[in-house]
Amino acid sequence: MHKHFFKGAMEIFKKIDAHHLKLGCILKEFEGGVRLPISYSDRLSEEINLLIHGCGLFDLKACWLIALTGKDAGTFLQGIVTSDVLKLKIGQIQSSWICDNKGKILHHLKILRSHEIEWVVICDPGQGKSVATILDNFHVREKLELSLLNNKEMFRVDVIGPKSIAILEGMGFSGEKLEWDFEDFKILSVQFNLGKTFRLINFVNAKVILNFFNQVIKDDKADLVSQKSFDELRVLEGIPRIGIDYNIGNLPQEVGLGDHISYKKGCYIGQETHSRMFYRGHANWISVWLFIPVNIKPLAGEKLFHESKDIGKITSLGSFELNGFIQGIGMIKNEVAKDQIMLSLKDRSAPVIKQKKLPFYIEKTN
């Protein structure tokens, strides 16, 4: 699955990136030379407002979209990833992981069932080639075809926030259909909320992607948003991110994302370790939601303490004030997390940091 964009794609992408740069954006380059907007200068509060009250367009064309098509596509993928992809109906998306044979996380994914015998693996930026290699290596006799939708000129663009659906409906989108027409090209749009926040993930043809951007952001309630503001929103929603809150080598039980894993679907890579830990053991560390008084000025990465003992650290930290607190995500020792004990930032300082389970905490079965 070599990545060769059609001749004019990179020129179109340069025009999109130029618009980002006009807003003072820092761009990060990923596979194929495609770039992701990391942060804009002096726009964070505006972006957060768009995501919560309006419509933020998040340029995710740097994500690889790997299609698995054929009668064995679903069962093949079922044996690779942690979630139950065979339960997906056409037009549904499920978060998932690929793990190694010891159960440790290798990759974070989203999986869309796009047709009766087609699933699309939506990779995180920079992870596409590695994920494709894993899928290709495990594919032996199964009757399926692996293909890169990016090679077919399709790229990911998310619109997030309560005004998103109305804006896309004004452009021709109908929630009743998976695909819709935009300037003589098909766009595929699927609702996949970020926690409780409305989100539509869109696959847009590169030949109309610039016009798609322009149509969305011409609305006075919409504009471009960055990875930085997206991170602010996911912290508010209590959703850990790989590479920030957890890493390659963590176990799913440590992360607190129960919607990413099925304990009932049967065999897949790493399944034995996951089942043993779920039914008979526990993780030594676990991600938790943090609520920090606004008068405290912590930094992501700072250590957390309980009774003068170092019990973990802050992994993500928001800046949005809510009811006198700012929210964060941390990874701490399980024995401290299970009793939701108050935490402190420095050895011997007062325990004023509240913690609670993340919204998708993996509930243990007795």
Is 233 a member of any domain? yes
* pLDDT of 347: 75
Q: What is the pLDDT of residues 52-97, one digit of tens each?
A: 999 999 999 999 999 999 999 999 999 999 999 999 999 999 999 9
Is 31 a member of any domain? yes
Is 112 a member of any domain? yes
104: domain CATH number is 3.30.1360.120
Burial class (CB in 10 A: 0-12, 13-18, 19+), 41: exposed
Is pLDDT of 167 > 80?
yes
* pLDDT of 5: 53
CA angle 302, 303, 308 (to 5 degrees): 145
The answer to whether 76 touches 121, Cβ cutoff 8 Å, is no
Q: Which of 56-60, 132-136, 345-349 has the lowest mean pLDDT?
A: 345-349
Q: Do 313 and 206 share a structural domain?
A: no
* pLDDT of 46: 96
The first and second tokens of residue 109, run together, are 């994914």
Q: Which amino acid is at 354?
A: K
Which residues constitute the domain of residue 12? 1-247
* pLDDT of 279: 87
* pLDDT of 361: 87
Q: Do 51 and 115 share a structural domain?
A: yes
Is 177 a member of any domain? yes
268: domain CATH number is 2.40.30.160
Q: Do 178 and 62 share a structural domain?
A: yes
Number of domains in the chain: 2
- Read off the pLDDT of each residue in 222-243 and give the average, rounded to a whole number: 97
Q: Which of 320, 361, 271 is nearest to 46 (CA)?
A: 320
Is 364 a member of any domain? no
Distance in angstroms (rounded) separating the CA atoms of residues 250 and 255: 8
Q: Do 84 and 38 share a structural domain?
A: yes
Q: How confident is the model at residue 2 (pLDDT cuts 50, 70, 90)?
A: very low
Q: Do 221 and 93 share a structural domain?
A: yes
Q: Do 303 and 189 share a structural domain?
A: no
Mean pLDDT in the chain? 94
Domain end call among 207, 231, 247: 247
Q: Regarding beta strands 185-191 and 105-115, do their DSSP bridges make them parallel or antiparallel, or are they unpaired?
A: unpaired
Q: Which of 114-118, 243-247, 275-279, 289-293 has the lowest mean pLDDT?
A: 275-279
* pLDDT of 226: 98
Q: Which of 239-248, 296-305, 356-365 has the lowest mean pLDDT?
A: 356-365
Domain end call among 209, 230, 247: 247
Is 182 a member of any domain? yes
Q: Do 147 and 131 share a structural domain?
A: yes
135 contact partners, CB below 8 Å, separation of at least 6 = 66, 68, 80, 121, 146
Q: Count other C-beta atoms under 10 Å from residue 317's C-beta.
A: 20
Q: How confident is the model at residue 283 (pLDDT cuts 50, 70, 90)?
A: confident
Q: Do 258 and 242 share a structural domain?
A: no
- Read off the pLDDT of each residue in 101-108 and give the average, rounded to a whole number: 97
Q: Do 318 and 226 share a structural domain?
A: no
Q: How confident is the model at residue 364 (pLDDT cuts 50, 70, 90)?
A: low
Is pLDDT of 44 > 80?
yes
b (16+ CB within 10 A) / e for 72-87: ebbebbbbbbbbbbee
- Read off the pLDDT of each residue in 165-193 and give the average, rounded to a whole number: 95
Distance in angstroms (rounded) separating the CA atoms of residues 257 and 265: 17
Torsion region of 214: left, alpha or beta (phi above 0 gives left; psi -120 to 50 gives alpha): alpha
- Read off the pLDDT of each residue in 296-303 and give the average, rounded to a whole number: 92
Q: How confident is the model at residue 8 (pLDDT cuts 50, 70, 90)?
A: low
Is pLDDT of 4 > 80?
no
Is 128 a member of any domain? yes
Among all chains, which residue has been given the structure tokens 């065979």?
Answer: 86
Alpha carbon of 222 to those of 58, 205, 226: distances in Å?
11, 21, 13
Distance in angstroms (rounded) separating the CA atoms of residues 133 and 146: 11
Q: Do 115 and 217 share a structural domain?
A: yes
Q: How confident is the model at residue 366 (pLDDT cuts 50, 70, 90)?
A: very low
Domain end call among 221, 247, 273: 247
- Read off the pLDDT of each residue in 286-303 and give the average, rounded to a whole number: 94
* DSSP reduced 3-state for 334: helix
Q: What percent of the chain has pLDDT over 90?
A: 85
Q: How confident is the model at residue 166 (pLDDT cuts 50, 70, 90)?
A: very high
Q: Do 263 and 239 share a structural domain?
A: no
Is 114 a member of any domain? yes
* pLDDT of 338: 86
Distance in angstroms (rounded) separating the CA atoms of residues 76 and 81: 9
166 contact partners, CB below 8 Å, separation of at least 6 = none
Q: Do 268 and 153 share a structural domain?
A: no
- Read off the pLDDT of each residue in 99-107 and give the average, rounded to a whole number: 97
